[in-house]
Structure 1
Amino acid sequence: MDLALLEDFLELARELNFSRAAEKRNMTQPAFSRRIRALEDAMRTPLVLRTTRQVALTPAGKAFQPRAAAIARAFADAQREALEAAGRTQRSLNLAATHALSYTFVPRWLMHVAGPAEVGTLNMVSDTHRQCVDLVQRGEASFFISHRGPDTPQDLSERQFRHHVIGSDRLVPVSAPDAAGRPRWRLATDDGPAPYIGYGAASGLHAILEAHWALHGRPDLRQVMSSVLAATNLEMAKEGQGIAYLPGSLAERDLDRGRLVPAGDASHHVSVQVVIYRPRSRLSAHCEAFWQKVVRGSAV
């Protein structure tokens, strides 16, 4: 069976839309639909429910999805091992990181844990949490760095991936200052819901905040916009559009310079970890050596 059919199915399982999945796979929708049919023929059971209004996975499709991801990742690992045995690999790291961390934390952390010679050629992808998870599940990234909340369901199976804490952070509610230097918008006031600049569902910070608020209570907020990029929310907060919950590692410079001010006290902060994920399966010798330095290094 053509292993690329698995990638087609995994893309459809992520998008649940034939047109978008076909576009992501760089083919026409009819051609993409034929390939999904070919995979279902090979599996001898329907994997996808098709209606005029929506696309959903069948019970067989839901059961097959993690297996397909594991097979795709195993093939990527086998290909890498074959190239390594043939002496055709380079000293390189394929690293995925969420947008918020790739701007500030990751460059500092890399220089803290290893020098340029030990990192080798760095191929870093900065994307949404959801896309980064997809990359590491498909074996296209060996490492993935993201925020992790204590109350948030994890997207990567502990049976297939391990993680290591490399830092700590906090999500801080911030606002633009008024003329007197006080927050233009504040939490916990009697003036009604404060305008809130939220995160899109593809953002890991969205999941962290929603899980935290489900347990500890949601502030009185009225969402006025959302974005998957923390950097976009930072700029909109600076423009006075509302309150944004931003990673302290991203907002600290603007807080120090007074371009943003806290919109609530420390009781509204959400503590998070910064973690790095990797597959439990063996990586290249260079990546394994890098992982050992990560484990031995101190968190920042």
Structure 2
Amino acid sequence: MHQNIQIELIWLEDCLALKQTLNFSQAASIRNITQPAFSRRIQSLEGWIGTTLFQRSRRSVTLTKAGEVFCDEAATLINLLYNARRKTLETSELYDAEVVFTATHSLSFAFFPSWIKRSKTANLLNTFQLVSNTMRACERIFTQGQSQFLLCHHLPKMNLKLESGDYISIKVGSDNMVLVSAPDPDSGKPKWSLEDKAIPFLSYSGESGLGRILSGQPAVVKLTRHMRTVFTSDLASTLLAMAVSGEGVAWLPFSIALGEMLQGNLMQVTPIDTELKIPVEVRLFRHAAPMTRTAEELWEHIVQNAALTPD
């Protein structure tokens, strides 16, 4: 009887992870748990509700109509709970009002230090913390109220959990994704040509926000369709090192690739007579609910600075 089962918050988060991936193995990996244990938690949730949320078959996992309804409600419940926790902590005398930024790895070292200095944001803070991780981990940390701000590369329709009325964002920078290769020492041209067959491709994992951006670009999908994936990583910095060593081609933010390009260690790979680049935004997200006075004053400063700063 489901009345005897005590529901746990982690089950709701598991449910949303499975909705996102529709794959038990991938969802279990996101949740840092073994697949059998993850499956048992989903079954326990379904037992508590009293109906099936996911239809399983050997080849696929799909949401039932009941699952669609419950996932929408679960997302709202999770946000309400974490917002309640955050607001409660902010009114506590024991609460540490330190401002916490969460940022993807690529932006943590390529963008954040210069941005925080250029915008004079750090001048408003006695102390602040930067948490660097993969995009999925950053989303989890941020939505759970463990940070006030999240900094990431962004394009519309990249399947973020943040595209709702619970969050606000502002553009604070821009970049371009470019396809790069190590140069050929003899010809001075890129080592790998798009005319070659089965070019070795250095790819982003599903944890990466940049990977999500690229997977939604028809031009990128068309170009990489016949490439041979030889390496996968969450980190643009790792793909950068692999590309410099000549292991294959990689899509990288221009801001990260520029240093190696200026030193002659990388070249942009482009179709004949075409410059291929994918413009992306750098956006800062915050919770729509009121934050601490320090965080609100910081947000107001960032908004004013963004309005005065050209791309």
Band the TM-score falls in, shorter-chain normalisation: 0.7 to 0.9
> Residue 182 of structure 2 aligns to which amino acid in structure 1?
A
Deviation at 1:77, TM superposition (A): 1.6
Unaligned regions of 5+ residues in structure 2, if any?
A: 1-6
The residue aligned with 2:105 is 99
Report the Cα distance in structure 1 between the residues aligned to 2:26 and 2:202, rounded to whole angstroms: 30
Check 1:23–1:115 CA distance in 2 against 1; reply closer, same or farther (3 A cut).
Answer: closer
Structure-1-length-normalised TM-score: 0.82
Unaligned runs of 5+ in 1: none
Alignment partners' CA distance in 2, 1:19 and 1:106: 30
1:80 aligns with 2:60: no
Q: Is the 8 A contact 1:188 1:219 kept in 2?
A: no
Residue equivalent to 1:290? 298
- Counterpart CA distance in 2 for 1:224 and 1:124 is 32
Percent identical pairs in the alignment equals 30
**Aligned-partner SS, 2:77:** helix
Give me the whole-angstrom Cα distance separating, in 2, the residues matched to 1:13 and 1:87.
39
> Is the contact made by 2:82 and 2:143 (CA closer than 8 Å) also made in structure 1?
no
Q: Alpha-carbon deviation of 1:118?
A: 2.8
Q: Does 1:170 align with 2:176?
A: yes
Residues 1:278 and 2:283 aligned together = no
Q: Does 1:268 align with 2:282?
A: no
Distance in 2 between the 1:270 and 1:19 partners?
27
Structure 1 window deviating more from structure 2 (46-55 vs 65-74): it is 46-55
* Matched length: 298
Match of 1:48 in 2: 54
Distance 1:289 1:25, change over 3 A: same
Aligned residue number for residue 132 of structure 2: 126
CA contact (8 A) 2:90 2:97 kept: no
Query: In structure 2, how many angstroms separate the alpha carbons of the residues matched to 1:176 and 1:22?
Result: 33
8 A Cα contact 2:215 2:221, kept in partner: no
CA RMSD of aligned residues (A): 3.4
Cα separation, 2, equivalents of 1:50 and 1:33: 11
* Amino acid paired to 1:223: R
Matches within 5 A, 1:177-188: 177-180=183-186, 182-188=188-194
Q: TM-score, normalised by structure 2?
A: 0.79
Partner of 1:17: 24
- Residues of 2 paired with 1:48 and 1:238: CA distance? 44
C-alpha displacement at 1:145, in angstroms?
Answer: 1.3
Write the deviation string for residues 183-215 of structure 1: whole angstroms up to 9, x where unpaired: 3335554x4454332222332222322333359
| Partner amino acid, structure 2, of 1:297 | N
Cα contact 2:201–2:227 (8 A) shared by 1: yes
SS of structure 2 residue aligned to 1:135:
helix
